[in-house]
Amino acid sequence: MDWCFLIVAGLFEVFWAVNLKYSMGFTVLFPSVLTVIGMIVSFLFLSLALKHLPLGMCYAVWTGIGILGTMVLGVFLFGESFDIAKVVCMLLILSGIVGFKLISA
């Protein structure tokens, strides 16, 4: 269950980061509110995962999910560039997350 909490925390990190972009520096109300809610939910689930999982691993997985998710959504939602170097880096991050899961079982 702790890993589920960690994954949810990572997904909400992506949620708040995307809404932060839409908030235009907290000048647009609705995305600003969603950003703050997403931050609270993300930290809540991260804190639940930290009850039983190691800090360093949790933080690496949480930020890794955030990096991967925001990069992918940045390409699709905001037309950000995407090239082979970014794909390789994303695969390295993903392999690190899977590696942490495998050695933590």
Residue 105: per-residue pLDDT: 64
Map out the domains of the chain as residue ranges.
2-104
What is the pLDDT, as a whole number, of residue 101? 80
Q: What local confidence, expressed as pLDDT, does residue 62 receive?
A: 94
pLDDT per residue as tens, the chain (105 positions): 999 999 999 999 999 999 999 999 999 999 999 999 999 999 999 999 999 999 988 998 999 899 999 999 999 999 999 899 988 998 998 898 888 888 876
85 dihedral zone (left: phi>0; alpha: psi -120 to 50; beta): alpha
Rounded Cα gap, residues 23 and 16, in angstroms:
10
Cα atoms in the Cβ-side hemisphere of radius 13 Å centred on 20: 12
